[in-house]
Amino acid sequence: MKPQFLIAAPHSGAGKTTITLALLRALQRSGRRVQPFKCGPDYLDPKHHTLAAGQECVNLDAFMMTAQHLPEVYQRYTQQADVCIIEGVMGLFDGARKMEGSSAALAALLGVPVILVVDAQAMAYSAAPLLYGYKHFFPDITLAGVIFNFVNTPAHYRILEEAAADAGVPVLGYLPERADIRIPSRHLGLHISAESDYNAIIDAAADHLSAHIDIEQLQQQTQTPVPAPAAEAPGSSSGVLRIAIAKDEAFNFTYRENIAALSQLGVIHYFSPLTDTVLPPADLLYFPGGYPELHLPQLAANTGLLQQLRQYEGRILAECGGMMYLGESIVDETGNAWPMAGLLPVSTSMQSPALTIGYREVHIGDVIFKGHEFHYSHYVKVPDITGPAIRVLNARQEIIPGTVFHTPRLLAGYMHFYWGDNVAGLQRVLGLPG
């Protein structure tokens, strides 16, 4: 038995990320080994979780991961933890299709209780039917308790306590409004600020939460049996590949299980397209997503590395920002075009940014990859090179326009691929040794 739970809310913006970070830091400061998880494909919240907990956060995504692989991953990382905390995504029941892939579906699959964060700043006794509905709508989950956020006064909180009691939901406490612990705005919805800034905010949030929430009661309320792991953790590399992964301020969006899967194919080294002038010896180069648009002068000025990349003869994997870097140029918000690697017949632009978001399923012959798109940039002109052997589908299994660059030595696109449970598919499409 150990405390393990999913933090959810009726809707986005209720404060579940701030409360998750505060709990992670408060528990970490008390000497507990706390393992953070993030429901869904997000990259930014896991970075914050890792900083708050001192343990690397792991994504759990019921769309991208198979029903066997997901609980295996969860169980593996829970074994050495004292407390396990999953931050949900959007509203508790919001999924790709109805509840599919939602926080509620994840809680049911893993058998962990839910703590609901309710924005109560404009609510009083109406919290009772809200909580009653969330408790009874989906009987496969357990609502372990509620935290009321943005509560105006102690008198306001007493009304909310009465509402929760009438709905049969335990109350774990409340948090008054604190403007200084709000997460800073992010570049186009994505950017992470300096680590020192976030540490100060997380510490303040942990202090605030500890003053109003009984953390010991919360842990007692969420004690749940932990099943033994169904699969052994990945061991040391048995592969022969030399794998070089771009990792710096421009390229840093990776899934932990993707890296673990790659490590089974060979030895991983990291390099920086921003600062390294020599391309490392590698059989496979991986350019993950990130913020190339924030570092265009520096990336374009590193001409030696770009030239070496044009002459590289090994395999290449690139996603979103990494794919943009492999194109002919990236146009910044002012209209200036910055030359890039030129390995792909396309240019991308940050002018007139518009959000593209959603789950994707890509069929390359008989190999299927699942993943996610989240970007504001766009192609200057949409290249027509996908071909009949490649199909792109959304979460509703509808064929949609989408460009995936594939040759015997390259796989690239706007989609962030998940291959943590499908490294064999990656080997097949890139011709990597088994």
Rounded to whole angstroms, the Cα distance separating 340 from 328 reads: 5
Amino acid letter for position 335:
G
Catalytic one among 39, 57, 84, 320?
320
Rounded to whole angstroms, the Cα distance separating 341 from 270 reads: 19
Give Cβ neighbours of residue 210 (< 8 Å, ≥ 6 apart): 22, 26
How far CA 407 is from CA of 187, 316, 345, 369, 410, in Å, comes to 33, 10, 13, 16, 5
HEC assignment per residue over 173-231:
EEECCCHHHCCCCCHHHCCCCCHHHHHHHHHHHHHHHHHHECHHHHHHHCEECCCCCCC
Q: Are 214 and 172 in contact (CB under 8 A)?
A: yes
Partners of 356 in beta bridges: 375
Nearest to 395 by CA among 59, 64, 8, 60: 64
Q: Are 130 and 99 in contact (CB under 8 A)?
A: no
Half-sphere exposure of 231 toward its Cβ, with a 13 Å CA cutoff? 11
The size of the chain, in residues, is 434
E-assigned strands of 25-168?
A: 34-39, 58-60, 83-87, 114-119, 143-149
Placement of tokens 């306590």 in the chain: 161
57 is catalytic: no
Rounded to whole angstroms, the Cα distance separating 272 from 248 reads: 5
Catalytic (active-site) positions:
320
